[in-house]
Amino acid sequence: MHPELVSLLSHCRTLPTLPGVALRMIELAEDPATDLAMAADAIALDPALSARLLRIANSPLYASAHRRRVDTLSQALALLGLNAALSLALGFVVARTLQPDHALAGMHERVWQRSALAAMAARLLAERLQLERPEELMLGALLQDIGILALLHAMPERYAELPQVPLQGPERLEVERDHLGGDHTEVGAWLAGRWGLSGYLQRMIRGSETIETGDRTLGCVVAAGLLADVWIRPDDDHAREQLDQVAAALDVEALDIETLLERLSTLAPEMSALFDVRIHREEHAREIEQQGRELAMIRHLLEREDLQLAVREATRLKARTRELDDLVRRDPLTGAYNRRQLEDVLQQAFEEAERRREPLSIAFIDLDDFKLVNDRYGHLVGDTVLREFSQALMRMLRASDLLARYGGEEFLVVLRRCGAERGKQILERILADIAACPLATVDGAGIHITFSAGLATHGEDARFVDAHAMLAAADEALYGAKREGRNQVAMQARAEYSPDPA
Of the candidates 290, 141, 102, the residue with the CA atom closest to the CA atom of residue 220: 141
Name the more confident of 38 and 279. Answer: 38
- Per-residue model confidence (pLDDT) at position 489: 95
Does 230 score more than 50 pLDDT? yes
- Per-residue model confidence (pLDDT) at position 66: 41
Q: What is the DSSP string of 189-234?
A: HHHHHHHT--HHHHHHHHTTT-SS-S-HHHHHHHHHHHHHHHHH-T
Q: Collapsing DSSP states into helix, strand and coil, what is residue 449?
A: coil
Does 324 score more than 50 pLDDT? yes
| CB-based contact 117:111 (threshold 8 Å) | no
Q: Is 380 exposed, middle or buried (0-12, 13-18, 19+ CB in 10 A)?
A: middle
Name the more confident of 273 and 379. Answer: 379
Mean pLDDT, to the nearest integer, of 189-194?
90
Name the more confident of 344 and 325. Answer: 344
Kindly indicate the confidence band of residue 67, based on its pLDDT and cuts at 50, 70 and 90: low
Quote the mean pLDDT of the chain.
81
The pLDDT > 70 percentage for the chain reads 83
Does 495 score more than 50 pLDDT? no
| CB-based contact 207:218 (threshold 8 Å) | yes
- Per-residue model confidence (pLDDT) at position 114: 87
Mean pLDDT, to the nearest integer, of 67-92?
79
**Strand blocks (E) in 368-473:** 402-407, 410-416, 440-442, 445-447, 451-458
- Catalogue the active-site residues: 409
Q: Is the dihedral of CA 55, 59, 63, 69 positive or negative?
A: positive
Interatomic CA distance for residues 128 and 417, integer angstroms: 47
pTM of the complete model: 0.64
Secondary structure of 395-413 in HEC code, one letter for each residue: HHCCCCCEEEEEECCEEEE
User: Looking at the chain, how many residues does it have?
Assistant: 502
Mean pLDDT, to the nearest integer, of 352-362?
91
- Per-residue model confidence (pLDDT) at position 185: 93
Q: Which helix (H) or strand (E) holds 361?
A: strand 360-367
| CB-based contact 18:93 (threshold 8 Å) | yes
Tens digit of each residue's pLDDT (9 = 90 or more) over 298-318: 555 555 555 555 556 556 656
Does 425 score more than 80 pLDDT? yes
- Per-residue model confidence (pLDDT) at position 279: 67
Half-sphere exposure of 248 (CA within 13 A, CB side): 8
Mean pLDDT, to the nearest integer, of 382-391?
92
- Per-residue model confidence (pLDDT) at position 434: 93
Interatomic CA distance for residues 155 and 167, integer angstroms: 16
Interatomic CA distance for residues 284 and 282, integer angstroms: 5
Tens digit of each residue's pLDDT (9 = 90 or more) over 81-113: 887 788 888 887 877 777 655 445 677 778 888
